[in-house]
Amino acid sequence: LDSSPILESLGNAKTVRNHNSSRFGKHFDVQFSANGVIIGAFTSAYLLEKPRITVHLEGERNYHVFYMLAKAPAAVRESLGLTKWQDYKICNQKGTVAEVTTWNDAAEFEDMHEALLKVGFTEEARLELYKMLVFVLQLGNLDFKPGKEGSEAKDPKQVEACAALLQVTPQQLMDAISYRTMGGGKLSTYKVPLEPRAATAARNSLCAHIYCLVFDCVVSVINDYISVYNAAHCVGLLDIFGFENFKTNSFPQLCINFTNESLHNLFIEHVFKLEQEVYVKEEVEWNFVSYEDNQHIIDLIAKRPICVLGLLDEGCATGSGKDSTVLDNMHATFAQPKYKAYTKPKKSSDRTFVLSHYAGEVVYTIEGWVEKNKDELSPDVLMLLEVHSQFERLSELARADTQKKLEAAESKAKPGKRGGGGMKKKTVAKTFSEQLATLMEKLRATEHHYIRCLKPNQTLQAGDWDNDFMFKQLAYSGTLEVTQIRKAGLNVRRPLKHFYQYYKICADDPSALRAGTVTKRTELLLKQLGVDENKYRVGKTLLFLLNFEIMEQLDAIRTERVAEYVIILQSYMRMLKPLLHYKRAKRCILRLQGFCKSWEIRRAYCEVRAAAKLLERWTRTYLAHQKLLDMRESDDPALTPDKKREALLKILYPAKHGRGRIGLSGKRRPLRIQPTRTVGDDADEDEFVEMPRFEVAYEGWLVCKVGQMGKYEKRYVSLKQGTLSLYVDHEALQVVHSLNMASCAVSLKSAAIEVRRADGAGLFLQKRRRFKASRWGGGDVVVFQRDSLAPEASEAWAEKLQASAGEARAVDGYKMQVSLDGDQDEKPVDQKVAAVIKEGYLRKKKEGTFGKWERRFFVLYNDGKLRYYESKAKAEEKGAVDLRWFALKEVEEEMEVAEDDTGESAGLRVQGQLFKVVKGKQFSLISGKHALYMASPERELCDEWIATLQQTLALLYQKSPFFNPEVLRVYMMDGSFTSIPLTENTHGRDVARFMCKKHGLNNETEWGLLELWDHPGIAGNMTERKLPGDELLLDQTLVNWERAARIRFGIISQVPASSFRLVMRKVTSLLPQARTKKEQQLEFCQAMSDLREGRFTSPDNSEIFDLAALAIFKDLKEGMTEEEQDDDLVLEEGQLTDQLHNYLPSHMFRALANKRRGLQDSMVEEWDRKVVRAFNELTRAELIETESMSVVRRQDPQGAGRDQRWGAARLPAWAVAGADLDLQLRHARLVAVDERHAYHQHHLCHQARPQQTAREAALPHARGDPHAQYPHKVR
């Protein structure tokens, strides 16, 4: 809105029919966020009327801005050297209107003068803008007379005044205007003096060019200040000049009317043609309304090569072209009957012609058309502006305009076409046509809505109503035709499927609506409802109704039917309780009946059971007696009495003495997991193998350590699905370490049980990582302490680990066999054989400290295994790695080449011959602290291996991912997180938009996703970066995480939650007034987080203590009851000493670590005093806030002068668009100021009572626990 006074001043003028006529086309794109909030606007200007800058008709004025500058305040006019407007010929011409009744030049200047600063201009830039306009006024007063050679200025002082404004010499200005450089090169150029008439034309071109530069500059600055990039929604507004028909119509009127013809044709296409096409597309009978198409007049004016503008350009192309020649050519060309819109008048046919527009016939006068159409700047004028002028701003605009035209000409040049490389000269008609075509293309890409502005009279007076004039405007605008279409057509339209689904409840007989298509079913429904057939039509996808009365009748019927169904539902709901009671009673009765019926059965069963027991007892007694007789007759000396007794007891009491027990030294057979073979039902069907299942599982507390040098700690251990995981506790399940048992080996030692990575043999062990990873540093081995377990339990745990490893290897082998493709795709799983993807010789770095290189034959299989052998024969396998747990990394090396005495690089010299030294290439596969280094002197061979390994790793990462490829967690600054589903097309901007919508954040452009790693692994040796909006999370972000996890952790199954995270943070502030409560809370949490992490910067620490006081106030308020809030909050010194680490930056305490104990205590006490002082001032102060919350000041109730800590200078305005993040963190304390202000509304005048027993333990220990108790009292 602030741009309107500026654009109206520069682009509007007084015409015969309008006091404030727009002389250019203005298109606004009002930009909205996803939540419907206006966040900016983009302005496009088209078709500025350039001839008016130097010449206007009688009864009109020039552009408003010239008269406004001449009537500006005295201080402005004196700084610019301006006098009254009558002294300037551009403003004061024949028939110029002195005053405009509805336009106050002085008042409008004040609005424009102030608005320029609001839309991005500085005071210096505004003054330069005024100087350019003053130069146009002064240059318009420069007249010429015949001289010795060509022409010379009538008033030399006027030349000096113009040259001073342009910051050139008077001679340079006169040479550029009164001379023209001719010739084809630097050596053959010469200057030709111009006659006074030609010099005046050059002056007018310079005036128009500078004014256009000013106009384009203003539009560009406004767009840079208020427009935003990539808005969610846009609404465009086009404001353009209307149809013109004066007594004398010249070239500008033809351009304006041509524009209106094109817009009217768009209106016809949109309203008439599309309206009829809808009925034709839906195959609905409809009486079409005839309308008049104006495409023929548009072709007559601008369809090249044979058109009015084309013939005019042809006349300008010849140096000797005249207006009369162009007119004769048009009369001869358009005399054919097909050009019915062109008429040769009977009178004045030597200087006029007539065109029949949609608004009526217009007589055009050809005088001056050739000169107005040329409107070209000579190279001398361009050189004057771009090179000689010391007016930097004007020179910069001129050079930018020339560069823009050159780029546009190059972009439109046909590829492959040879010709001149310079910019071709364009006529005004050609430029106007291109701008109009751009505007029409933009309008056709949008959905149109029209606002028709009708003028009640042509006298420009109130209370005068001209019926004929109004009726003509309605006819010319096409409004009458639209009325006929709506009157003859069917106004109400509804989607067919939705209408049938919504109103089928109204049918009396729903079974009679059965039909093959929705169209037939809708017709049957309308017939049942008794709707008149002449009041509706059923199309393919739409239903056309005559008026809304039919909809109202259908809605009334639907309401009655819905009420009937609601009554039925209510009756069922009332029946539900008795029905449940009945079913419960019936169930009890059936149970009682079943008990009674089973009584007899149970009695018979007991009799049979007693008889069976008696028979078994007698049988065992008989067998024992027989056994005793055999033992008496036996002479075996080994049969002792005890063994005899034991044998008899097993016979008599087998339940008690017949089970064999395994002793403590007994050995169980190791568990072997093999795939189960299953045969199909048909005899000819092939056998297939089912995937093995996991059966071993365990959860509990054990004493263990990670790595050989680790410390034994009690951890919660989980063994399931082939994964061994260690957690801190069993509730939070915060993972400490995890291992995939498929690649591990279990060994039982005297004092410990070790689970160690099995594929580390033969790999190079890296000495030191570049980042700290104490928790995961020795992640290749997990050691369980046997002393903490019983002997039986330790052996059982070892057996469980071995069984789990066997299960994991069986399942893992099955999965990898299933994934084999190619020729093995048709075979059963257990018969598939891995195929070779690539093989060849490479250099491998040996394991050990020095790591020498050896030559090995590498083979890559499609099951994810990379094996290497002694030779190509593959007789002995030297080692193998599972690529799923490795990441590829290229090693960059620098080769030092010595230089000889001549300064040239020396190669390898052998027997006097010089050979070239070629650098090889090295790459590695890294998994945790294990690495496999490979190299080759042939770089091409290494590149082939790297490309193949990258493709293989990309497939293997999908089969064994560390991160869930379907769901991703995004954290907020308050600690909460949201799980977002992922697809292949999920971008960063999609996640940011989803999070803003879910949490009710108004402007998504203010928020961004921050990627956090707990080690410096992001490009640039960083731990955090802002996620671009076009980055694919699944194919880019997660792939980088997978690769980094393998490099850092190696073979694992779970990654710690803090290793890789996405955090939603506020990155800028555009609309601070539109913040929600949720957004304010997130901003405060972000500010406090950055404060603790040391991101908040301040010249002194006073603002840090203020923010700490605000945080304490917020925590205290959350921990208090309503009764406790009746008293004022007052803290004493010494109460916050133990809690300061929760509210002050951590780097402040780290700086005290190396200092003496006494100095540490004194510094902490000083910080405590400052925080307490800030808190007490915060709770005692009274706030007076403006509507915008941009002024917060402290007021003393007693009138005494106090410390103005919360004054306006202390808190800058929060609502600063584009403020840096550091400034936003300083302003985040205003979130708590809102709560403090609400607190003082109720307790402004309360005094602290002497006895406060309920205030004890009110301050929480930490910000995360508002219910924690504080050990000291609060007075």
Query: Is-contact 745 818, C-beta < 8 A?
Result: no
State the CB neighbour count (10 A cutoff) for residue 206. 26
| Tens of pLDDT, residues 1037-1054 | 888 888 888 888 877 777
**Single-letter amino acid code for the residue at 344:** K
- CA torsion sign for 928, 933, 938, 941 is negative
Give the global pTM: 0.43
User: In Å, how far from its chain's centre is CA 1034?
Assistant: 15
What are the tokens at 523? Answer: 């017709």
What is the chain's percent helix, strand, coil content, to nearest 5? 45, 15, 40
* CA distances in angstroms from 997 to 961, 986, 1057, 1078, listed in the order given: 30, 16, 25, 12
| DSSP codes, 357-415 | ETTEEEEEE-TTHHHHHH----HHHHHIIIII---HHHHHHHHHHHHHHHHHHHHHSPT
Least trusted range by pLDDT, from 114-118, 460-464, 1211-1215: 1211-1215
Q: Which residues contact 919 (CB under 8 A, 6 or more apart)?
A: 893, 895, 939
Confidence of residue 590 (pLDDT cuts 50, 70, 90): very high
* Residue 486 to residues 258, 640, 786, 882, Cα–Cα distance (Å): 29, 118, 91, 74
**pLDDT band at 490; cut points 50, 70, 90:** confident
Most confident of 7-11, 960-964, 1018-1022: 7-11
Dihedral, 168, 170, 176, 180 alpha carbons, nearest 10: -150
- Position 821 scores a pLDDT of 53
Structure tokens, 1211: 């808190």
In whole angstroms, give the CA distance from residue 971 to residue 342. Answer: 70
DSSP 3-state of 724: strand
Contact between residue 995 and residue 1001 where contact means Cβ atoms under 8 Å apart: yes
- Asked whether 725 and 738 are in contact (CB, 8 A), the reply is yes
DSSP-based three-state secondary structure for 450: coil
- Is pLDDT of 917 > 60? yes
CA distance 1100 to 1122: 37
Which distant-in-sequence residues (6+ apart) come within 8 Å of 1065 by Cβ? 973, 1007, 1008, 1009, 1010, 1086
* Overall residue count recorded for the chain in this entry: 1275
Is the pLDDT confidence value at 639 over 70?
yes
Q: Which of 77-91, 361-375, 420-434, 446-460 has the lowest mean pLDDT?
A: 420-434
Q: What is the DSSP letter of 1229?
A: T
Specify whether the CB–CB gap between 787 and 751 falls below 8 A: yes
State the average pLDDT for the chain.
Answer: 78
For the record, the structure tokens of 578 come out as 């008795």
Q: Do 207 and 322 contact (CB within 8 A), yes or no? A: no
Which residue matches tokens 């049957």? Answer: 524
pLDDT of residue 1184: 39
What is the band of 1223 on the pLDDT scale with cuts at 50, 70, 90? very low
User: Do β-strands 865-869 and 853-861 pair in parallel, antiparallel, or remain unpaired?
Assistant: antiparallel
Return d(Cα 927, Cα 882) in angstroms, integer.
10
Residue pair 866/763 in contact (Cβ under 8 Å)? The answer is: no
Token pair, residue 170, equals 């008077």
Longest Cα separation, the chain: 164
Predicted pLDDT of residue 610: 92
* pLDDT number for residue 1189: 36
Task: Give the Cα separation of 956 and 861 in Å (integer).
Answer: 12
CB 1002 within 8 A of CB 1020: no
Instruction: Tell me the C-alpha distance between 891 and 745, whole Å.
Output: 31
Q: What are 246-269's pLDDT values in tens digits?
A: 788 888 888 888 888 888 888 877
- CA 136 – CA 210 distance, rounded (Å): 7
DSSP 513: G
Q: What is the CA radius of gyration of the chain?
A: 46
Handedness of CA 109, 110, 115, 116 (dihedral sign): positive
Which of 1064, 1104, 1101, 1132 is CA-nearest to residue 1229?
Answer: 1104
